[in-house]
Amino acid sequence: MIEIDRVRKTYDGRTVVDDLSLTVPDGAFCVFLGPSGCGKSTTLRMINRLVTTDSGTIRVDGEDIASLPEAALRRRIGYAIQSTGLFPHWRVEDNIATVPRLLGWPRGRIADRVTELLELFRLAPETYRRKYPHELSGGEQQRVGVARALAADPALLLMDEPFAAVDPITRDALQAELARIHKSTGKTIVFVTHDIDEALRLATDIAILNRGRVAQFATPQDLLENPASDFVRDFVGTQGIGLKLLSVRKVRERMRPGETAEGAPISADAPLRDALSLMTVRAAALLPVADESGRVVGTIALSDLVR
């Protein structure tokens, strides 16, 4: 759990983070969202003390981060940035092994962890471990960057617009992978982006920042359904809000349990937008819904989407 308590940061007279308070729950995928200059990156970098607060406290798992030595704190926290910052003079395996080596892990354990992470990110370990960063594509570099952040298995992962510099197709794949990893590991992720759709797709909680303050801190659905101010409303965008809502709401929320229908079922955890898409393709106004095991547990109708 991260408690950000009334932090403030001023650069040359300009207040970048203004009396900001926020609590990130354990295991959340918390997105800091906002326009350029709103202070989201600065706030993120305060968590691992790359930026020192002028005033205010930040506590991670109850400990005041200012009381810990900087290097020790950062080795416990994963850090992935937009330009990856991969060390050009080290191979992929050495890059990933950075923090484990700093922590003094035995060599065998490090090698195993590198293999594990490369497999997790669907990069063939034997092909990729000896490559240099400049031999990788943009998407591969980003994967290695995130793998490096996860190497020491930190409970908290900080990510600063990591997917902003890759092409949309790769970005989509990376987002899917990150979501998968978050789900399977249960880590707390703090993720900075300016892209509302990315936030809606990945986040469990979104903090919209404006001029150094939190404009709203809510779940994606809540943000769409109950924007707290005109700023939030405008930022989220009035165009296609309905479609955004559909991509945020899940089938589970609108399904009719106990009933059956024809055809291959849709997962209860899928967003309503997928249900709409499936209905359009099949020209059917009713779909069966299945749970994780594949067992049909209900149905969803076209009219349920717009209730």
Partner 1 sequence: MPRSVAPHPEERSQRARFEGRAAPLQFLTTPALWVAILFVALLVTMPDTGPIFHWAFPQVEPPVYQRGTFVALFLSHAGIVGVASLAATFTGIVAAIFVTRPAGRDFRSIIDALATIGQTFPPAAVLALAVPAIGFGPLPTVVALYLYGLLPIVQNAVAGIETVPPAVRDAAAGMGMSPLQILARVELPLAAPVILAGIRVAVTIGIGTATIGSTVGALTLGTPIFDGIGGNKIPLVLQGAALVALFAIVTDLMFARLEDRLRPSSAR
Partner 2 sequence: MTSATAARPESLRVNNQVLLALAVVAALAVALCGFVTLAPNRLVSGKPVALWQAAPSSGPVIIALVLALAGLALAPPIRALHRFAAMLAAMLIVVALYAAGGAAQRLGAGMSALARVSLGAGFWVVIAAAALIVVDGLQRAAAGPLERVAFALAIVAALAGLAASGALDALSLVHEYNNRQGGFSAAVIRHIELVAGSVLPAIAVGVPLGLLSIRRERSRGPIFVTLNLLQTIPSIALFGLLIAPLAALGLGGVGPLPALIALTLYALLPVARSTAAGLGGIDATIADAARGMGMTGRQILWRVEVPLAAPVLLAGLRIVVVQAIGLTVVAALIGAGGLGSFVFEGLGQDAADLVLLGALPAILLALAADFLLQLLAASVRR
Positions that interact with partner 1 (CB under 8 A): 45, 48, 50, 70-77, 79, 81-89, 98-99, 102, 132, 134, 145, 148-149, 158
Residue 56: which of 116, 2, 121, 128 has the closest Cα?
2
Q: What's the closest the beta carbon of residue 52 comes to partner 2, in angstroms?
A: 5
**H and E: helices and strands count for the chain:** 15, 14
- Name the DSSP letter for residue 104: T
Q: What's the closest the beta carbon of residue 13 comes to partner 2, in angstroms?
A: 15
Choice from 1, 66, 73, 261 touching partner 2 (CB under 8 A)? 66
Q: What's the closest the beta carbon of residue 174 comes to partner 2, in angstroms?
A: 35
First to last CA, the chain: 36
* C-alpha–C-alpha distance, residues 258 and 261, integer Å: 10
- Name the DSSP letter for residue 88: T
Which partner in partner 2, partner 1, none is near 74 (CB below 5 to 8 A by kind)? partner 1
Whole-number Cα distances in Å, 178 to 55, 164, 197, 288: 33, 14, 15, 28
* C-alpha–C-alpha distance, residues 6 and 298, integer Å: 47
Which partner in partner 1, partner 2, none is near 21 (CB below 5 to 8 A by kind)? none
55 interacts with partner 2 by CB under 8 A = yes
Strands of the 205-210 sheet, one edge to the other: 77-81, 156-160, 188-193, 29-33, 205-210, 213-218
70 interacts with partner 2 by CB under 8 A = no
Q: What tokens does 34 get? A: 């906002």
Q: What's the closest the beta carbon of residue 160 comes to partner 2, in angstroms?
A: 22
56 interacts with partner 2 by CB under 8 A = yes
Which partner in partner 2, partner 1, none is near 57 (CB below 5 to 8 A by kind)? partner 2
Tell me, by CB under 8 A, how many residues bind partner 2: 7
Q: What's the closest the beta carbon of residue 65 comes to partner 2, in angstroms?
A: 9
The contact set with partner 2 (CB under 8 A) reads 52-57, 66
